[in-house]
Structure 1
């Protein structure tokens, strides 16, 4: 059994299962969305959630994951996309493993789907690129808490790839019963007021389905833009459900990172 082991447990989030479970549930329960019906009912197709340390972005991520409670039983697979921070490469890569391990247990990887994408020349394998990357890993405890351990994932890191390449992967992968999760933060290391203005502009672009995001607007500009292209193709819409930065949560306001949470439906 080949497993991708946690790289940032104990740094970005607790490495003890009971503490991690408590922390994620705190983020999920501290938001105002009810666990029953919400305005999206069973229509959520994709979400965008931040990926910083939980002390900074956990509450923002919790806001969008709560919208999945209503239709959590309808999802059987998660297409998980995020930007590569540690290793430069061209294209889109999978982790060459059967499971992603977290302190809460293992999440199975849809190996068959990845093999098909690789055969089509849409992705390649690189366990090295995934080994130390945090952007997908920090989403997994939220997925495990809201959607359970039986859901399968298709974990993909996006390197130097065009939004159209991402769209082609989603077009080849997505089927009813899938949830797309894109992991991304927004602006990085700007003064608070400047970040607020910039993130509002970026957030409006996302909600307007403008698939031309840049790297200084969102580190996950490529997977977000690819999702927006795919959403246009599917006739979906995008709403922002939370927009904050580290100056609002746990950091000082001289140099902040922006966090947005979005629902595609």
Structure 2
């Protein structure tokens, strides 16, 4: 039975995964971004899509910031963010929207777009979104690095990569659209085992090796959809950085892995150079 959410998707993990007080949250995010901006090359293309972790900020915020420091370069052009994350608490088939009009965080409200509501494989499931953290933790970062934007929040459940890729293709858009995929990597392995496992998973992501196993990435469903979309479009992810909770604030005996990636589309001049001569004339 569907549980009604109302017009506002309220914060579920403010005060646990990240600070509930905006006076603490805002400077924390800026500190993460300040450290990450040092790695952004001036000539690097701005990403069309990013992949970032969704754990508590003390564990994965520094890794997530590597992706958001790149996305920040699109601040003046992005007006819509398609945000995909896995379901941790409620099972669903396909993809789910929250059935709300507004997504609220301690930093304010973001309007929710209805762009995905009528797409095949997408259902309205407020109960799936109500307590889900995999999407929520990204929104304060987005509010910090972008200007005004609409959010398309999609919880990805039991879905084949092709279905998720079809939804992404329908929402791909142009420069106005940024795609964000939320995933952590391995869970609760010893530190050295996790590093080895995560390195293999990262290699698989970089080579577009679909499907990624859910034991290697809790957000495998949305991630596999993005990788399938990249295969269709001839795009490849680039690794921005990786660590695990043992590197930040966790126990070395049982760690969770994190990585950030970006996917950039060719610049216009590169697209023109790749076109056949008869097309370019």
TM over 0.5: yes
Q: Distance in 1 between matches of 2:37 and 2:104?
A: 30
Alignment of 1:1-265 (within 5 A): 2-33=7-38, 38-42=42-46, 44-111=47-114, 113-117=115-119, 121-148=120-147, 150-176=148-174, 177-265=176-264
Give a deviation string over 1:232-260, Cα, whole Å, max 9, x none: 11222211111100000000100000000
Runs of 4+ in 1 over 4 A off after TM superposition: none
Structure 2: which 5+ runs fail to align? 1-5, 265-281
| Secondary structure of the corresponding residue to residue 47 of structure 1 | strand
Give a deviation string over 1:31-78, Cα, whole Å, max 9, x none: 25367x534333x11000000000000000011110122222121111
Q: Distance in 2 between matches of 1:89 and 1:69?
A: 32
TM norm structure 1: 0.94
Cα RMSD (Å) of the superposition?
A: 1.3
Contact 2:104–2:110, Cα closer than 8 Å, also in 1: yes
Structure 1: which 5+ runs fail to align? none
Q: Distance in 1 between matches of 2:169 and 2:45?
A: 24
Give a deviation string over 1:123-169, Cα, whole Å, max 9, x none: 00010110000000000000000013x11110000111111110010
TM norm structure 2: 0.89
Q: Distance in 1 between matches of 2:216 and 2:259?
A: 11
The number of equivalent residue pairs is 258
Between structure 1 and structure 2, the one with the greater Rg is: 2
Contact 1:33–1:63, Cα closer than 8 Å, also in 2: no
Contact 2:165–2:228, Cα closer than 8 Å, also in 1: yes
Q: Distance in 1 between matches of 2:233 and 2:259?
A: 22
